Amino acid sequence: MKVNRIGFKNFRNLEDSEIFPGSGVNVIYGDNAQGKTNLLEALWLFCGGHSFRTAKDSEVIKWNADFARLEMDFFGQGRDQRAALQILPNKKIVKINGVEKNSASALIEKFCAVVFSPEHLNLVKRGPGERRKFTDSAICREKLQNAVILSKYNRMLSQRNALLKDIFRKPSLEDTLDIWDAQLIHYGALLIYKRLEYMKNLSQKAAGFHSGISKDKEALSVRYLSTEDVNDDDSLEIIREKFAAKCAQNRKSDIHLGVTLSGPHRDDMEILINGKNAKSFASQGQQRSAVLSLKLAEAAVLRERMGEEPVILLDDVLSELDSGRQDFLLNELKNCQVFITCCEKQNKEQLKRGTVFYVSKGSVVSEK
């Protein structure tokens, strides 16, 4: 998958213009707060209409403008295609190959990218919720069916927790808990199984990328931490049995506290470098390398599903990395289109082959 052209009008601070990226590595450099990240955000919006920076559409519209408009020509699914996205304060209008679509989610089936931003370092730095969000987002992008499973599990969990609070006040309602438990266990076991399946694939690929980034000096591994005591090779039926046993074991405590103590909503992903927990023992550069490896592995998994390479968007990725790790990202990522933002001029000078754009006060200029 390759972006051949992207045009923007009234988008954040970017001057109304268009650029023509190269098919390999594209370095976007300039001082802070000039618009480099805005350019990556514009590309990412074609993955489904959602920003990786804000939930408010109005924030991407230039001050005093009524709308923002993005256009992209790209090669994907074996042919040249065109997408247009008009963003209004309360809605988006999407056209793909000249045909208006009902929702921006239609873009998911046409264009695919993986983004790294500094906020993704929270995968290592923060609690289990960040890592569950990463995994669930990845499996939902992999298969629409997984999004349905996650949605139904969350709904069952919410309803069960509401019932637990009612049971504490009115114990006779406990007889109805079995009905909700059956549904919670069904969808919860499916969700765990899908996460495990994805994580095994992700871990293997992330280990390879991290070996390349660290020049074989470090080994990265990822493992699923389960409140249901499941193992990586457990079948769906075994996972269901273990989750059911844990629900039965915790029933009295669940009722007393009014919450469900076990399930995929409490599970975690542990990130290890050389066998040690990255959150506790890794340096800033090692943590950044680990998250980068996970994001590149995410792209590799998407490639297997789609049959073509996703576009890779790397925002402020080179800071806190030594020159060897920087060189890997600038010069060793093959057969895919990459966009990398940076502030240091020396980073663009490390690029052996690729395209360079300079951003200043919202103006994006291609450097020959």
Tokens of 53: 């920076």
Q: Is 27 helix (H, G, I), strand (E, B) or coil?
A: strand
Other C-beta atoms closer than 10 Å to the C-beta of 177 total 18
* Sole residue written with tokens 């023509």: 20
- pLDDT, residue 175, reads 87
- Give the distance, in angstroms, between the CA of residue 354 and the centroid of all CA atoms in the same chain: 25
Q: What is the pLDDT of residue 368?
A: 67
- Among all chains, which residue has been given the structure tokens 């690029």? 351
Angle of helix 177-213 relative to helix 323-331, nearest 10 degrees, comes to 100
Distance CA 109, CA 143 (A): 11
Q: Which two tokens stand for residue 8?
A: 């923007």
pLDDT for the residue 103: 86
Q: What is the DSSP letter of 258?
A: T
Token digits of residue 208 = 């390879």
Give the integer Cα–Cα distance in Å for 290 and 204: 13
State the pLDDT at residue 9: 97
Q: Where are the alpha helices (DSSP H) in 12-127?
A: 36-44, 122-125
Helix, coil or strand: residue 214 = coil
Contacts of 8 (CB under 8 A, 6+ apart): 14, 16, 17, 18, 42, 68, 69, 70, 71
Rounded CA separation 194/182 (Å): 19
At residue 248, the pLDDT reads 94
% of the chain with per-residue pLDDT over 90: 72
Confidence of residue 319 (pLDDT cuts 50, 70, 90): confident
CA atoms within 13 A on the CB side of 263: 28
Say yes or no to pLDDT of 55 above 80: no
pLDDT, tens digit (0-9, with 9 covering 90-100), for 108-128: 888 989 999 888 899 999 899
pLDDT tens-digit readout, 88-98: 988 899 999 99
Better-scored residue on pLDDT, 131 or 347: 131
User: SS3 of 170, please?
Assistant: coil
26 and 338 Cβ atoms separated by less than 8 Å: yes
Tell me, yes or no, if the pTM score tops 0.95: no
Q: Which of 124, 135, 139, 127 is nearest to 271 (CA)?
A: 124
> pLDDT tens-digit profile of 163-186?
999 998 898 888 889 999 999 999
pLDDT tens, residue by residue, 198-243: 999 999 999 999 999 999 999 999 999 999 999 989 999 999 999 9
